[in-house]
Structures are given as structure tokens and as C-alpha cells.
Homo-oligomer: A and B are copies of this chain.
Amino acid sequence: MAIKRQVWKEKFGDWYREIIDTAKIIDYRYPIKGCGVWLPYGFKLREHVLSVIRGFLDGAGHNEMLFPTLIPEDLIAKESTHIKSFEEEAYWITHGGKNELSVKLALRPTSETAITPMVKLWVRSHADLPLKIYQIGSIFRYETKATRPLIRVREVTTFKEAHTFHVSHEEARAQVLAANDIYAKIFYELCVPYVVSERPSWDRFAGALSTFAFDTIFPDGRCLQIGTSHDLGQNFSKVFDLTFEDLDGKHDFVWQTSYGISERAIAAVIAIHGDDRGLVIPPKIAPIQVIVVPILYKGFEEQINSECQHVEKTLSQEGVKVEIDDRSKVTPGAKFYEWESKGVPLRIEIGPRDVEQGKITLARRDTGEKIPCKRGSLSLVGKTLTEIEDNLRNRAWKVMENNISTTGDLTEAKRMLNKEGGIVEVPWCGQAACGQQIEGEVDARVLGLPVGVSEAVSGICPCCGKKGDRRIRVARTY
């Protein structure tokens, strides 16, 4: 890595781009801006992250499906705030071959308007509800701003969107909270810290009654939205006439929710755990958890290789994702450097002295610590992987929590955001006008009201001077 951690604040963007390139995650040199190619190593990381996401959604009774990529303009136009929000951001197909199409087709920017009319075909009565489905696929936005790997792209190749359908608003709202719990579990596994905020009224998803968001803080002090969940009320069911018959034979519109996580979750893993030497991947999602590097010396080759194979076989049988790097033309030093930059959590070195002493040496990626391990005590490997995971999670949470402060002084808030970034919590009266004035004065974005924070809060709204019982989070965002 050419870019060092001590200059992250200023150079974070360069470091981030370099590591995605060096570690062979995605290649963005494709001739369309904001469209990249997932390289084999990055693809495996993506698969492991998706497997975590699928596991929790399946476990909570969601069924995976796959909807078409294309949505006719007239469907999107049915929900008026929806078309306003996406009309100028969508890619539009006007021609099939040389024929002009009678209705333009959008590459889906999100799928509410594709899914709701299909669910109308499947739902008759309360017995068909709740219905909980999700899909994983590409969505598209015609970004005119500068693009940024995995964060602001034109083809988001990895978008998990869940959609649920309910008999009552109460049940739908409970589902949004359940979605937040699922997301908390997912980010726990990814070792990514977060705050949950209820987005302010002027920053909700197009068509939603309320929007919750998970945000994390990047090393440059800016916040990244890494997951959202929406109470859609009956907005979509009304325009698509999606009704159900209740227990009493009466008909009502279905209550809906949707919640999404994109490849930004992977961006967060990369940005938050990485260091001067490159990626640091949490063990549960690492394409390779343990890399075995033989340190060959003349006369010991056979013994060392056979010991490497013994270690590889033993760990494989225990379900550890382990590989031996036995390339003969690459020095051990170059191998260390490469696997460190790719973020493999644990390296095992086996040299002549190790063989003589009947031991191996474990090297932790997160701390650099070297741990001698007896030949027969390979269970230490699993234990160390767990320690690495815990350490990554704990240290990331500490860093984030140290970057959240509170002040009622907007000049001070702006100074803090300029200097340290992070999140500042400001007392607020609850009026949109004051919230937007705060955004303007601190030159940042309102993330919204803290969710899941139990302490009672009161303070004076810095805009209108009224006493308020809440505070809002503000931050510079991606």
C-alpha cells in the first residue's frame, strides 16, 4: 500500500480506491463510468456477505424470488412521488432492436412498482398474509455526480431488497422494527458498527410514511448509509389496487414495508477494518480465513511441505477455509505482503525451526501478533479466528462511539464536523423548518432521530429557542 493510515483523513478516498484495486475486489476500468467487474476474490467476499444476509432473512421466514430487471414507465408513474424521485435518475430503454417501444422501459432503480402489481395476483385474503419476500440483483441509477467504488455507482450489482405485505399498519410497523433487528444481526456478523436513525420527513424514501436508516462512520469522518427500512403504509397498495379480504369479509388495502441493503455493506467492511497494509476481513466473511506459507530451507523441503499439507487437511476438515501458498517463484516475504493486503485474517508460517520444534507460528492480521502453536493444538486456530472477529468488532465500535458528540451550539457543531467529522447530536424542537435550518448552518445532513436510545433527552432548539424533548443527528455524508 502506498497510502498510509496517518493521512487517512485527507487521503482516505485514494487509500480506498487503491485497496479495492490492490486486493482485487472490483475493476472499475470498464468503459461505462460507475460500472465495474467483480474479480474472483471480490466475488467470493461478496458471496460470503450475501450468505450472511440470506441466512438471516431465510431464518426470519422470507422467501427469495427474482423479479424482472425492466419496469414499464406507466407502472413507475402510478406512484407520483416515486416517479418524481426516479424519473431523472433512471436509465430508459426506448428501442428493441430498431423498433421504438410504445412504452419506455426503465432499468429498475428499486422494485416496489414491479412487485406490488404481481403480489396483487397472489393475495386474496388475510390467509395469504403476511407475505415476506426478497430478491438480490442489480439496480441502476444514472448518476451524474462523481462515482465512487461500491458507494455511488451506476449499476449497483448487489442490492438485496425485501418486501413485506400485512393485514394491518400495526403489523407492518412491527415488521419494520423486525427488519431493523435483522440488520443489526447482519452488521454484527460483518463487524460493522452503526447507528439507527429515523430519517426526517424531508428525507424519506419516495412513497414511504417513515424511513429508518443504518449509518456508519468512515475513517474520513463522513457517514455512509448502509441499510434502510421503510413503512410504506398503503401508498403502493392504493395505486396498484392491492387489497385483501379480512376475517369479517371486508376488503382493505394491504400494508407494505420494504428494506434494502446494498454492496455498501461491503464498502463498509473494507473501509472500516482496513489499515496501512490493506484489507482486514472479518473471519466469517473472509474468502480465505487461513493462509499457510511454507518457509522452505534446503534439506527441510519435504518435511515442511508435508507439515503444511497436514495443517491444511486438518483445518479443512474442521470447516476452516484454508489454502497453502506453495508458489515456488515467490518469496515468503512477498507472500506475506500479498495476503496481508488481501486481508486474510490469519497466516500460518511453517519453517525449519517450526518443524524441528514440532510447532507452527500463527500471525494475526488485525494485530500483527505472532503466536506459537503446538503441532497438536490446531484448535487454537479456531479460537484465534474468534478473537480476531471480536477484536475487529470491538475496536470498530469504539472508534465509532468516540466520533459521536452532542452540542446545542451550531458553530461548535460545524467546527466539530469540519475537524473530526463523525456524528453530532443537536437538540431539536421537532419542526422541519428548524431541522433544515440546522442542516444549512452546520453544512451537513440530518440523519434523523436516534432510534433505540433509551436515555431521556431535553434541550433548547438552537433555531427557534423552544425547549425540545429530542435531538437529531447531523453528519457529513456520502
- The interface of chain A, by Cβ under 8 A from chain B, is 27, 29-32, 35-40, 43, 46, 63-70, 72, 75, 87-99, 105, 107, 114, 117-118, 121-122, 133, 138, 140, 142, 144, 155, 157
**Set of chain B residues within 8 Å of A75, measured between Cβ atoms:** 31
Within the complex, the shortest CB–CB distance from A414 to chain B, in Å, comes to 33
**Set of chain B residues within 8 Å of A92, measured between Cβ atoms:** 93-97
Within the complex, the shortest CB–CB distance from A143 to chain B, in Å, comes to 9
A37 in contact with B68 given A29-B118, A118-B27 (CB within 8 Å): yes
A121 and B40 CA atoms in complex are apart in Å by 15
A36 in contact with B91 given A118-B29, A121-B27 (CB within 8 Å): no
Within the complex, the shortest CB–CB distance from A392 to chain B, in Å, comes to 26
Residue of B nearest to A36 (CB): B68
Residue of B nearest to A92 (CB): B95
Ordered by A's residue number, 14 sampled pairs between the chains whose C-beta atoms are within 8 Å are A30-B118, A31-B72, A31-B75, A32-B70, A37-B68, A39-B65, A69-B140, A87-B97, A88-B98, A91-B95, A92-B93, A92-B97, A93-B107, A97-B142
Instruction: Check A30 against B142 for contact (C-beta < 8 Å).
Output: no
Within the complex, the shortest CB–CB distance from A320 to chain B, in Å, comes to 18
Residue of B nearest to A87 (CB): B97
Not counting A69-B69, A92-B96, a sample of 14 additional A-B residue pairs whose C-beta atoms are within 8 angstroms of each other reads A27-B122, A30-B67, A32-B72, A35-B68, A37-B65, A38-B65, A40-B65, A43-B65, A66-B157, A70-B155, A87-B98, A90-B96, A91-B105, A93-B93
Question: What is the copy number of this chain in the assembly?
Answer: 2
Partner of A63, one of B40, B97, B142: B40
A223 and B410 CA atoms in complex are apart in Å by 73
**Set of chain B residues within 8 Å of A94, measured between Cβ atoms:** 92-95
**Set of chain B residues within 8 Å of A72, measured between Cβ atoms:** 31-32
Instruction: Check A118 against B37 for contact (C-beta < 8 Å).
Output: yes
Instruction: Check B105 against A69 for contact (C-beta < 8 Å).
Output: no
Instruction: Check B37 against A66 for contact (C-beta < 8 Å).
Output: yes
Instruction: Check A66 against B88 for contact (C-beta < 8 Å).
Output: no
Partner of A97, one of B27, B66, B68, B90: B90
Residue of B nearest to A329 (CB): B127
Within the complex, the shortest CB–CB distance from A327 to chain B, in Å, comes to 11
Within the complex, the shortest CB–CB distance from A452 to chain B, in Å, comes to 31
A376 and B99 CA atoms in complex are apart in Å by 66
Instruction: Check B96 against A37 for contact (C-beta < 8 Å).
Output: no
Q: Which of A29, A31, A157 has the most CB of B within 10 A?
A: A31
A435 and B67 CA atoms in complex are apart in Å by 42
**Set of chain B residues within 8 Å of A67, measured between Cβ atoms:** 30, 37-38
Instruction: Check B40 against A64 for contact (C-beta < 8 Å).
Output: yes
Instruction: Check B43 against A64 for contact (C-beta < 8 Å).
Output: yes
**Set of chain B residues within 8 Å of A98, measured between Cβ atoms:** 87-88
Instruction: Check B117 against A31 for contact (C-beta < 8 Å).
Output: yes
A188 and B376 CA atoms in complex are apart in Å by 42
**Set of chain B residues within 8 Å of A88, measured between Cβ atoms:** 97-98
Partner of A70, one of B35, B87, B99: B35
- For the complex of A and B, 10 pairs with smallest distance between CB atoms: A96-B142, A40-B63, A88-B97, A35-B68, A38-B66, A92-B95, A94-B94, A97-B142, A91-B93, A93-B93
**Set of chain B residues within 8 Å of A122, measured between Cβ atoms:** 27
Within the complex, the shortest CB–CB distance from A189 to chain B, in Å, comes to 21
Partner of A69, one of B27, B117, B155: B155
Within the complex, the shortest CB–CB distance from A467 to chain B, in Å, comes to 44
Within the complex, the shortest CB–CB distance from A53 to chain B, in Å, comes to 15
Instruction: Check B89 against A66 for contact (C-beta < 8 Å).
Output: no
**Set of chain B residues within 8 Å of A121, measured between Cβ atoms:** 27, 29
A93 and B65 CA atoms in complex are apart in Å by 26
